[in-house]
Amino acid sequence: MPVTSVEKDLDALTLTIVADFAAPVQRVWDAYTDPRQIERFWGPPTYPATFTRHDAAVGGRSIYSMTGTENGDTHGGYWEWVAVDAPNYFEVLDGFLADDGTATTGLPVTRMRMDFHPADSGTRVITVSSYDTLEQLEQLVAMGMEEGLRQAMGQIDDVLADLASFAADHSVEAQILSDTQVRVSRVIRGSVEQVWRAHNDADLMKKWLLGPDGWTMPVCEIATNVGDTYRYEWEQAGGEGRFGFTGQLLENEPPHRAVTTEAMIDTNYPPTLNELTLTPVEGGTLLSLVITYPNAEVRDMVLATGMTDGMETSYARLESVLGESRELADASH
Query: What is the radius of gyration, based on Cα positions, of the chain?
Result: 22
Higher pLDDT, 261 or 6: 261
Residue 141 has what pLDDT?
Answer: 86
> What integer pLDDT is reported at residue 332 of this predicted model?
54
What single-letter DSSP state applies at residue 164? G
Q: What is the pLDDT of residues 100-148, one digit of tens each?
A: 888 888 889 999 999 999 999 899 999 999 999 999 999 988 888 888 8
Considering the chain, what percentage of its residues have pLDDT values greater than 70?
97
- 122 class by beta-carbon count within 10 Å (0-12 exposed, 13-18 middle, 19+ buried): middle
Helix segments in the chain, DSSP class H = 25-33, 35-38, 134-142, 145-153, 156-161, 192-198, 202-208, 296-303, 307-331
The per-residue pLDDT for 328 is: 52
Length of the chain: 333
pLDDT of 276 reads 98
Strand, coil or helix: what is 179? coil
Q: Is the pLDDT of residue 210 over 60?
A: yes
How confident is the model at residue 121, as a pLDDT? 86
Q: Are 201 and 321 in contact (CB under 8 A)?
A: no
Compute the average pLDDT of residues 308-330. Answer: 84
Degrees to nearest 5, angle at CA 30 with 127 and 311: 145
Which residues make beta-bridge pairs with 14?
9, 130
**Pairing outcome for strands 3-9 and 14-21:** antiparallel
Cα separation, 263 vs 302, whole angstroms: 13
Q: How many CB atoms lie within 10 A of CB 214?
A: 12
pLDDT at 333 over 80: no
DSSP 271-299: PEEEEEEEEEETTEEEEEEEEE-SSHHHH
Q: Which of 13-27, 301-315, 317-331 has the lowest mean pLDDT?
A: 317-331
Which alpha helices (H) appear in 52-164, and where do they start and end? 134-142, 145-153, 156-161
Q: Where is 17: in which H helix or E strand?
A: strand 14-21
**270 vs 249: CA distance, rounded Å:** 17
What gap in Å lies between CA 257 and CA 227, rounded to an integer?
A: 15
pTM of the model: 0.91
Average pLDDT score over residue span 235-261 = 94
| pLDDT for residue 331 | 54
Mind listing the domains of the chain with CATH numbers?
3-164 (3.30.530.20), 173-331 (3.30.530.20)
Q: What is the mean pLDDT of the chain?
A: 92
Cα distance between the two ends of the chain: 50
Band of the pLDDT at 46, cuts 50, 70, 90? confident
Say which residue, 132 or 239, is predicted with more confidence.
Answer: 132
pLDDT of residue 122: 94
Q: DSSP characters for 135-159?
A: HHHHHHHHTTHHHHHHHHHTTHHHH
Residue 1 confidence (pLDDT) above 70: no
* CA–CA gap between residue 267 and residue 270 (Å, rounded): 9
- What is residue 40's predicted lDDT score, i.e. its pLDDT? 92
Percent of the chain clearing pLDDT 90 (strictly above): 71
Q: How much is the pLDDT for 327? A: 56
Contact in structure between 277 and 54 (CB atoms under 8 Å): yes
Answer whether residue 286 shows pLDDT above 60.
Answer: yes
Q: Which residue has the higher pLDDT, 114 or 168?
A: 114
